[in-house]
């Protein structure tokens, strides 16, 4: 099989969670490469501002789709678009994390987290795949996390959703091998975005400062890996090294260590 290379710029890109952070950076980088880009999120004003910036800065064709991917209606609107043409590069980036003892957290928000992080990724992947295979081109980037490599007490739902994304995407990448389409799981460590405030992990971000990086660096690394046809990308050598411990140490040790790290601090 020939070595993978960058997806042709004739293939459009759809990015979910594009209103900030890693999703916004993916939209910028693909627009800079010359792809037509569809940006998806709930925050219409931010999407319109980003679209205008991409058009003026890169001369890009940019479409805005406002959708709440926690809901079936929002997922269906994006899936319909993905099925209307092919192929695409689909970047499933939308997601968030929660922190705390599971019994103390808002159950409705935990369920919504699964809908956004897992069900949305799964539904949109199913919608885009037939077109990728017919065209023998395009691909899927699913944003997981280094959290995917172990359980995280006090971030139980988040780590479990990211484990699903990692395993799902690895399997999909193998199924697509030789088809001309590709799939990659992006597993970033700490990235300096709004995620830390939403998830309440600012203290962890301070602890993990040596491993943290900007969204721009994360996405730059991810795109190089995607161009090569990599199935799993963990940006940064320290983050890559950090994923080895949970795979080598006894699981009881791993969960005790991670439980101490992510246990909410009072005061």
CA distance 68 to 77: 9
79 in any annotated domain? yes
Low-confidence ranges of the chain (pLDDT < 70): 1-3, 196, 199, 204, 208, 266-267
CA distance 246 to 38: 37
- Residue of 128, 202, 205 lying closest to 169 (CA atoms): 128
**Per the structure block, which two tokens stand in for 165?**
């994304």
Report whether 152 contacts 258 (CB < 8 A).
Answer: yes
Expressed as residue numbers, the domain containing 144 is 13-262
CA distance 81 to 24: 20
CATH number assigned to the domain comprising residue 129: 3.40.50.720
185 in any annotated domain? yes
Q: Is the peptide bond before 175 cis (omega within 30 degrees of 0)?
A: no
CA distance 171 to 192: 29
Burial class (CB in 10 A: 0-12, 13-18, 19+), 204: middle
267 in any annotated domain? no
2 in any annotated domain? no
Cα four-point dihedral sign 12, 18, 24, 26: negative
> What is the number of domains present in the chain?
1
Q: Which sequence positions are flagged as catalytic?
A: 158
Instruction: Quote the pLDDT of residue 2.
Output: 46
109 in any annotated domain? yes
Burial class (CB in 10 A: 0-12, 13-18, 19+), 238: middle
Question: Is 150 in a helix, a strand, or coil?
Answer: coil
Distance of CA 194 to the CA centre of its chain: 14
Report whether 204 contacts 147 (CB < 8 A).
Answer: no
Instruction: Quote the pLDDT of residue 242.
Output: 87
Q: What is the mean pLDDT of the chain?
A: 93
Bridge partners, residue 14, by sequence: 38, 90
**Tens of pLDDT, residues 95-107:** 999 999 999 999 9
Please give the C-alpha separations between residue 179 and each of 11, 51, 229, in angstroms, as whole numbers. 16, 32, 12
Match 């037509």 to its residue by tokens: 36
Instruction: Quote the pLDDT of residue 206.
Output: 73
**Tens of pLDDT, residues 190-240:** 898 777 677 677 776 777 677 788 999 999 999 999 999 999 999 999 989
4 in any annotated domain? no
Instruction: Quote the pLDDT of residue 267.
Output: 43
Match 């005790």 to its residue by tokens: 256
pTM of the shown model: 0.93
């Amino acid at each position: 099989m020939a070595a993978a290379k960058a997806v042709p710029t004739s293939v459009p890109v759809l990015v979910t969670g594009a209103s900030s952070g890693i999703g916004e950076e993916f939209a910028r980088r693909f627009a800079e490469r010359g792809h037509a880009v569809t940006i998806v999120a709930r925050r219409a004003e931010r999407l319109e501002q980003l679209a205008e910036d991409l058009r003026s800065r890169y001369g890009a064709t940019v479409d805005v789709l406002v959708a709440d991917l926690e809901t079936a209606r929002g997922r269906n609107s994006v899936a319909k678009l993905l099925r209307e043409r092919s192929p695409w590069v689909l970047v499933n980036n939308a997601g968030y994390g929660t922190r705390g003892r599971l019994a103390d957290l808002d159950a409705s928000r935990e369920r919504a987290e699964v809908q956004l992080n897992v069900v949305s990724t799964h539904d949109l992947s199913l919608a885009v795949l037939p077109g990728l295979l017919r065209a023998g081109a395009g691909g899927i980037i699913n944003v997981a996390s280094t959290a995917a490599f172990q359980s995280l007490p006090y971030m139980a739902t988040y780590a479990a959703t990211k484990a699903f994304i990692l395993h799902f995407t690895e399997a999909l990448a193998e199924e697509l091998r030789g088809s001309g389409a590709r799939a990659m799981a992006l597993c970033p460590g700490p990235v300096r975005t709004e995620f830390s405030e939403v998830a309440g992990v600012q203290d962890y971000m301070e602890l993990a400062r040596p491993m943290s990086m900007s969204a721009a660096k994360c996405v730059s690394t991810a795109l190089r890996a995607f161009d090569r046809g990599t199935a799993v990308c963990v940006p940064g050598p320290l983050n890559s090294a950090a994923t080895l411990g949970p795979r080598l140490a006894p699981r009881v040790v791993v969960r005790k260590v991670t439980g101490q790290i992510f246990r909410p601090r009072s005061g």
